[in-house]
């Protein structure tokens, strides 16, 4: 006849091993990055290798920047190709995009980097009305096709003032102009409601007021990291930005394992009327 203490110990060891096994088996989330206006995917060229060095699968969406719907559709196509859960990252205008696209059930966490974070029904153009206009926006110009772009001067002094001139010159040449009407497009969802979020505040941002960023982070109840950086901390402080994304990946993986463990826990034996 088995002793009660021995049975209890065996059950405890089995449960512990089961939990460890389920956590070890939890797949690592991939990272999908949505760049902002006046940029393209190469804007994340310094962060991507840092994430890949940790074994993280990374995809950067190439936004058409023609409308919110078009950018969300481009993001959705990338999300459709992910095999496991996703940490979705957005910079600047990309924050508006992930606030909408992040409702996809594969998306388990959101990371905003000096980004807009609208609520459902809000347009990006309306988000900073209660704050002074940031100094860098004066260097946004319109072309003959209804698209907006940063002037070379604006790229160097307002968009990325903490980067060398040779780099801002390249950024100016490779930027993706955004259709002006995109800023009028309203979101129909706010993915950050009910999902873990992280926010990187750029203290020296001249495109989105740092205090507005802090207000976004508070509204999102996000885990906040502040860095001394221009509007593009992914360029000037890539290690700091990568660290936040890696934290989000690890936390998401941990939570996925915990959920899997909770749903797969073996049920204990039922006591008989006669006892053990």
Among 57-71, 133-147, 254-268, where is mean pLDDT lowest? Answer: 254-268
- Residue 145 located in a structural domain: yes
- Residue 215 located in a structural domain: no
Residue 25 has pLDDT above 80, yes or no: no
Higher pLDDT, 15 or 160: 160
* Locus of tokens 């980004």: 115
- Residue 134 located in a structural domain: yes
- Residue 152 located in a structural domain: yes
**Tally of domains within the chain:** 1
- Residue 238 located in a structural domain: no
- Residue 182 located in a structural domain: yes
- Residue 211 located in a structural domain: no
Alpha-carbon distance values, 167 to 97, 207, 259 (Å): 26, 18, 45
- Residue 258 located in a structural domain: no
Alpha-carbon distance values, 88 to 164, 182, 183 (Å): 29, 21, 21
87 forms beta bridges with 31, 109
Residue 259's pLDDT band (cuts 50, 70, 90): confident
List, for residues 179-221, the tens digit of each pLDDT value: 999 999 999 999 999 999 999 999 999 999 999 999 999 999 9
Parent domain of 35:
31-54+65-81+93-100+116-187
């Amino acid at each position: 006849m088995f002793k009660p203490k021995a049975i209890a110990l065996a059950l405890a060891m089995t449960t512990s091993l089961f939990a460890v096994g389920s956590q070890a088996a939890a797949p690592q989330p991939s990272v999908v990055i949505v760049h902002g206006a006046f940029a393209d995917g190469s804007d994340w060229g310094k962060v991507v290798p840092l994430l890949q060095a940790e074994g993280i699968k990374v995809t950067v969406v190439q936004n058409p920047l023609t409308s919110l719907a078009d950018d969300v559709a481009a993001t959705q196509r990338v999300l459709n190709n992910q095999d496991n859960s996703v940490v979705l990252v957005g910079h600047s205008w990309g924050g508006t995009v992930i606030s909408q696209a992040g409702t996809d059930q594969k998306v388990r966490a959101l990371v905003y980097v000096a980004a807009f974070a609208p609520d459902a029904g809000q347009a990006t153009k309306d988000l900073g009305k209660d704050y002074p206009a940031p100094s860098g926006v004066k260097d946004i110009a319109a072309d003959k096709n209804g698209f907006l772009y940063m002037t070379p001067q604006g790229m160097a002094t307002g968009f990325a003032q903490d980067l060398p001139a040779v780099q801002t010159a390249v950024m100016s040449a490779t930027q993706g102009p955004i259709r002006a009407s995109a800023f009028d497009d309203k979101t129909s969802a706010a993915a950050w409601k009910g999902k873990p979020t992280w926010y990187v505040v750029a203290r020296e941002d001249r495109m989105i007021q740092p205090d507005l960023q802090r207000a976004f982070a508070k509204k999102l109840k996000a885990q906040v990291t502040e860095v001394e950086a221009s509007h593009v901390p992914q360029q000037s402080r890539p290690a700091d930005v990568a660290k936040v994304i890696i934290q989000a990946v690890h936390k998401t993986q941990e939570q996925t394992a915990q959920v899997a463990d909770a749903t797969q826990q073996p049920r204990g034996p039922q006591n008989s009327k006669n006892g053990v």
